[in-house]
Structure 1
Amino acid sequence: MALVQDCVIEDQEANKATFDMVKFKNVLFSNTSLTGIELTDVIFEKCDLSNIDFSGAIIHRTEFRDCKMMGMNLTDATLRNVVLNHCLADYANFRFSNMKQVIIQDSFLRKADFGYSKWLKVEFYQADIDQAQLSDIDLNGIDLSDCAFNGLGVNVENLRGCIITREQAYVFANLFGLIIKE
């Protein structure tokens, strides 16, 4: 039950560090690699996690609030009961991650890479995922209707059962070269 506040953590490298019941508030992580980190009951509030390496992380019951996460590396990460709220996570890398009960709300994930991830109960509310890579993700039952995007990287076979708006259907039609005549 620690509070880490108003500081800079830079040039740090650790493998398989564990944080349990810690709150990071207004912390800048610079040139930091925390591969295989395990986070349980952790809150990041107004932190800058841009370009941090969390590859292979195991993240449980963790919330990111008002955080800058540009280019954050979460490759091969496991996320359970995680919330991203009011975050800027453009270019974040979630490739090959396993996400269950993840909520992404009021956040920007433009050009983020989720390719080859496994999703179960991933929910989006007012999220901008323009140009995000969703290749080889089973989107059956995933509701993207509250997301903003002009294009996505997707596989046709993975779209079955995905929930979208009528306007978004036009975007997908254009992605597949269809011409819609009105």
Structure 2
Amino acid sequence: MEDKKSSLEIISPNLPNELDRLTIFDKNIQSEDSFTMGIISNALVENQIAEHVSFEKIIFKNVTFHNVSLKYLDLVDVRFENCDLSNMDLRESVLHKVEMVNCKMVGTNMSESTLRNVQFDNCNGSYALFRFLNCKQVNFKNSSLCNADFYKAKFLKVGFNNTNLQQTGMSGAKLKGIDLSSCKLEGLGVTVDDLDGCIVSPEQVMSFSNLLGLIIKS
């Protein structure tokens, strides 16, 4: 199946070939701190609370975040590789040209965040909170978003490719023009109005028979 990343024209992070290692989490991060040009790897980040922190041209690699709240986070040209962001509080953050690759995001709270040119590849975002998310040029690929919550999220040029959306809540998130045909949709929480113009496979229509008031005769 064609990868929708190219058709979405998502801009990848602009990162230098070589970056110096940063050890910024050896001390507590303060609100409004700003960090640029570096790689943070093989680290455990825990018990950090700050707001309006910014990262630009940063690679996070093999980093585990535990008991971390970074509300209003600003990320530009950032890549996360093999990181665990589970249960992080990232509400009202702004992500631009960001990649999440092989990351664990179980229960991560990104509600009311703004995403532009963001790619999630092979990530586990089960039970994550994406309520009121504002997305443009965003792709979820080969990922699990089961039981996640996209209540009233705004989607513009968003792709869901080979992604598990079982029991995912999307009430109030208009899906017109979005192709879900490669995804698992059993138990997807939507209304008939939300589905107007959504692209699904013939087999997936069965999943929405009750919602549509259909009685399927065998």
Quick check: TM above 0.5?
yes
Q: Which runs of 5+ in 1 are unaligned?
A: none
Task: Tell me the distance in 2 between the aligned counterparts of 1:95 and 1:145.
Answer: 23
TM-score when normalising by structure 1: 0.98
Native 8 Å contact 2:108 2:129 kept in 1: yes
- Per the alignment, in what secondary structure is the counterpart of residue 209 of structure 2? helix
Identity %: 46
Alignment of 1:78 onto 2:114:
yes
State which structure, 1 or 2, has the greater radius of gyration over its C-alpha atoms. Answer: 2
Task: Tell me the distance in 1 between the aligned counterparts of 2:95 and 2:159.
Answer: 17
**Given the alignment, which residue of 181, 195, 213 partners 1:145?**
181
Match of 1:113 in 2: 149
TM-score when normalising by structure 2: 0.82
Alignment of 1:42 onto 2:78:
yes
Match of 2:69 in 1: 33
- Per the alignment, in what secondary structure is the counterpart of residue 157 of structure 1? helix
What one-letter code is carried by the residue in structure 2 that aligns with 1:89?
G
Native 8 Å contact 1:84 1:103 kept in 2: yes
Native 8 Å contact 1:94 1:115 kept in 2: yes
Q: Which runs of 5+ in 2 are unaligned?
A: 1-36
Match of 1:178 in 2: 214
What value does the CA root-mean-square deviation take over the aligned residues? 0.8
Task: Tell me the distance in 2 between the aligned counterparts of 1:92 and 1:122.
Answer: 17
- Per the alignment, in what secondary structure is the counterpart of residue 210 of structure 2? helix
Shift of residue 177, structure 1, vs aligned partner? 4.1
Alignment of 1:95 onto 2:134:
no
Task: Tell me the distance in 2 between the aligned counterparts of 1:160 and 1:133.
Answer: 16
Q: Which moved more, 1:153-162 or 1:104-113?
A: 153-162
Aligned residues: 182
- Per the alignment, in what secondary structure is the counterpart of residue 193 of structure 2? helix
